[in-house]
């Protein structure tokens, strides 16, 4: 139990590093006051351009990837089964920190790029499937939100496919489902706009004045 709490705390601390907010401040704006009001990759692209979006994506992905690798390689060199579970809890902490950073009054992003980093650190096979799903759905529909939600759905499905014989399977599945629930909760507005046909498509820009 103490291992899980430590992993959650380390993950949360890393997740609180809001790349989108930092990139916005480097461009003299608070990105949360523009576009969707989200300090994430998509809003960074729409508000500040592709370069800013790429930096935001990489920063958010690596702030999940790095602490998980540190946890697994240096801090808790447990069995492979326990290591995977602790990786999930570290990732969950990252998502909580990203979505609800205490120093930004708990107003952060939606956690998809960070979830991508978590999935990659957890299992590259699941990450590959998630990436392909995201690219295909986003390319076909031009809706980043649809691709993002698909990534969150693929995560627990990947756990079922590759870890169903793991003694920690049920525990791992429950934790992975939290990522899905979080993504759908944070995309509540996007889902409503998708249903009524007002969701912004990839490539639409936001005026910064």
Q: Is the pLDDT of residue 206 over 60?
A: no
Q: Specify whether the CB–CB gap between 91 and 62 falls below 8 A.
A: no
Q: What is the pLDDT of residue 204?
A: 64
pTM of the full predicted structure?
A: 0.91
User: Between helices 41-48 and 144-163, what is the axis angle to 10°?
Assistant: 150
- pLDDT attached to residue 118: 97
> How many Å apart are CA 72 and CA 54, to the nearest integer?
27
Domain spans in the chain, listed from the N-terminal domain onward? 2-196
pLDDT one-digit tens code per residue, 24-81: 999 999 999 998 888 889 899 989 999 999 999 999 999 999 999 988 887 766 666 5
No. of helices (H) and no. of strands (E), the chain: 10, 0
Q: Contact at 8 Å (CB) between 29 and 208?
A: yes
pLDDT in tens, 73-126: 877 666 665 788 999 999 999 999 999 999 999 999 999 999 999 999 999 999
22: tokens are 């930092």
Q: How far apart are CA 125 and CA 196, in angstroms?
A: 35
């Amino acid at each position: 139990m103490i291992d899980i709490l430590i992993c959650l705390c380390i993950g949360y601390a890393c997740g609180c590093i809001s790349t989108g907010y930092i990139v916005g401040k480097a461009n003299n704006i608070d990105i949360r006051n523009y576009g969707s009001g989200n300090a994430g990759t998509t809003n960074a692209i729409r508000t500040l351009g592709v370069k800013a979006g790429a930096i935001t994506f990489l920063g958010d992905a690596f702030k999940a990837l790095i602490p998980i690798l540190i946890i697994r390689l240096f801090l808790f060199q447990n069995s492979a089964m326990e290591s995977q579970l602790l990786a999930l809890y570290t990732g969950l902490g990252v998502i909580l920190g990203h979505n609800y950073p205490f120093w930004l009054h708990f107003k952060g992003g939606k956690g998809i790029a960070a979830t991508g980093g978590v999935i990659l650190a957890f299992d590259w096979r699941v990450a590959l499937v998630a990436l392909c799903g995201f690219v295909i759905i986003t390319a076909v529909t031009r809706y980043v939100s649809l691709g993002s939600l698909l990534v969150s759905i693929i995560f627990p499905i990947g756990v079922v496919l590759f870890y169903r014989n793991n003694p920690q399977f049920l525990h791992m599945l429950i934790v992975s489902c939290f990522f899905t629930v979080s993504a759908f909760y944070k995309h509540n507005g996007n889902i409503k706009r998708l249903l009524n046909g007002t969701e912004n498509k990839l490539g639409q820009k936001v005026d910064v004045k």
